[in-house]
Homo-oligomer: A and B are copies of this chain.
């Protein structure tokens, strides 16, 4: 909850990882201790370790421990440690882009759209803090060409913010200031959420997202025109 603790990567449990579209072959359904989705289980364990102690610091043996098997046994379900990272990071960026796209497709004026992609950005970083944290921190742990691929996705994601800020400024909805700096500021404050957000706290990701969307809009100098739509995407 403090800045210091934030940088630790969070210490509560990882949620999600059910909508990871990976696992194209294996059967779905975790919950009971049934044999099924070993691949998904392994990825979840890896994600939690990557997020809390880092990719390089995580050993195959530790990942195995989390699901009750030995390190070498992981290779029956996974090709390599690197491949796990690739799957996690690619899945994360694709999901983020998907949600951003949906937020934009919902239409509305510039200000509404900016609020919406900001809310989506923040909400994801709170709900999927481990994925987001790893996705942001471990890019350089990726080998080429995957690293460049992910970097391209990030650039695309980021450019949507910049374009919207620019559009708003050109239509005098937002005040003047560097579009790039403003969009970076919005992106970075959202990314920061993944480092300190506490899922067992009293506020939900959606409330946080709505507040940050307001921060963004105010930062850009767009006054409180209408009663400020509070929905959080």
Q: Number of A interface residues, CB 8 Å?
A: 50
Per the bound structure, the CA–CA distance linking A218 and B21 in Å amounts to 40
Task: Check B181 against A187 for contact (C-beta < 8 Å).
Answer: no
Per the bound structure, the CA–CA distance linking A27 and B196 in Å amounts to 42
Residues in chain B near residue A218, CB distance under 8 A: 218-221
Other A-B contacts than A184-B192, A184-B196, 6 sampled, CB-CB below 8 A, are A4-B139, A54-B140, A178-B211, A184-B189, A187-B192, A188-B188
Residues in chain B near residue A154, CB distance under 8 A: 2-4, 7
Task: Check B8 against A139 for contact (C-beta < 8 Å).
Answer: yes
Given A2-B158, A56-B54: A181 and B211 interface contact (C-beta under 8 Å): yes
Residues in chain B near residue A54, CB distance under 8 A: 56, 140
Per the bound structure, the CA–CA distance linking A176 and B53 in Å amounts to 37
Residues in chain B near residue A56, CB distance under 8 A: 54, 56-57
Which residues of A line the B interface, CB within 8 A? 1-9, 53-54, 56-57, 136-137, 139-140, 150-152, 154-155, 157-159, 177-178, 180-182, 184-189, 191-193, 195-196, 208, 211-212, 214-215, 218-221
Which residue from chain B places its CB closest to the CB of A157 in the assembled complex? B3
Task: Check A140 against B181 for contact (C-beta < 8 Å).
Answer: no
Which residue from chain B places its CB closest to the CB of A197 in the assembled complex? B184
Residues in chain B near residue A53, CB distance under 8 A: 140
Given A8-B139, A139-B4: A192 and B185 interface contact (C-beta under 8 Å): yes
Residues in chain B near residue A140, CB distance under 8 A: 7-9, 53-54
Q: Say which residue of B7, B177, B180, B189 sits within 8 Å of A185 (CB atoms).
A: B189
Per the bound structure, the CA–CA distance linking A191 and B137 in Å amounts to 13
Per the bound structure, the CA–CA distance linking A24 and B182 in Å amounts to 42
Task: Check B7 against A177 for contact (C-beta < 8 Å).
Answer: no
Given A140-B8, A191-B188: A155 and B3 interface contact (C-beta under 8 Å): yes
Residues in chain B near residue A158, CB distance under 8 A: 2-4
Q: What is the distance, in angstroms, from A157's C-beta to the closest C-beta of chain B?
A: 7
